[in-house]
Each structure stands twice: as structure tokens, then as C-alpha cells.
């Protein structure tokens, strides 16, 4: 259930946690964020600045969000749910890093 919820609500986090195709994280993030922006913009009147919500823009945002969720579902389909070795995406390295990662703590202490 957690996996399905993450795929629908936060596709970027889901592809980094459950998928081995970390190279997909950046384009999935772009589609997901564009969908969120389009939904918000649609409720504010859309690009034509209408007095009422622009349902075409809201629909476009929902379509972009659905595409990013579908892409995430396809990218995570073959994985076993465990983290893959050597996540090569900077986005996934930030999401998957532990709070007590000594490398990050060394950087903080070295900055003083």
C-alpha cells in the first residue's frame, strides 16, 4: 500500500526508493512538478486569467501527473522493493541518504 501511495502522490520519491532506473527521476520530477503547477494555475484562472477555473488547464495538470505516476509504475515494476546498488542520480542520492550518514556529517564538521 505504501508503494502504491508513493507512486500516486510522490512519483519522484517512489522511483528513487523502489526502482532501479534512477535516471528516470529527473524527467519524472519535471512532469510531476509541471502537473502541480498546471493544476494550481488552472484553479487560478489559467493562462487566459479567467474569472472561473480553467478546467482545460486543470485537466492538463492531472494528465501530466498521471503520466509521471504511470512512468514511475513502469520503472518500479521489475524491482523487488529494495534499494539498488549505486544510485547514480543526484536526486536519488539525496532522497535515499540516511540522516546519520557520516559523509554528510564530515562535510558539516569540515565547513567550520
Q: Are the beta carbons of 64 and 38 closer than 8 angstroms?
A: yes
Average pLDDT over residues 38-56: 93
**Residue range(s) defining the domain that contains residue 42:** 2-81+89-110
Q: Are the beta carbons of 91 and 29 closer than 8 angstroms?
A: yes
Q: Are the beta carbons of 28 and 71 closer than 8 angstroms?
A: yes
67/75 Cα distance (integer angstroms): 12
94/79 Cα distance (integer angstroms): 20
Greater pLDDT, 109 or 94: 109
Listed residue (44, 15, 19, 50) closest to 32, CA to CA: 15
Q: What is the pLDDT of residue 18?
A: 80
Count of structural domains, the chain: 1
Average pLDDT, the chain: 80
Amino acid at each position: 500500500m505504501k508503494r502504491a501511495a508513493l507512486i500516486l502522490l510522490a512519483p519522484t520519491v517512489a522511483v528513487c526508493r523502489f526502482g532501479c532506473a534512477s535516471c528516470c527521476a529527473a524527467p519524472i520530477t519535471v512532469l510531476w512538478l509541471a502537473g502541480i503547477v498546471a493544476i494550481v494555475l488552472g484553479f487560478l484562472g489559467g493562462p487566459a486569467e479567467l474569472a472561473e477555473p480553467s478546467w482545460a488547464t486543470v485537466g492538463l495538470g492531472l494528465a501530466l501527473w498521471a503520466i509521471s505516476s504511470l512512468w514511475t509504475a513502469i520503472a518500479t515494476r521489475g524491482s523487488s522493493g529494495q534499494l539498488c546498488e549505486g544510485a547514480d542520480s543526484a536526486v536519488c542520492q539525496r532522497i535515499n541518504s540516511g540522516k546519520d550518514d557520516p559523509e554528510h556529517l564530515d562535510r558539516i564538521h569540515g565547513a567550520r
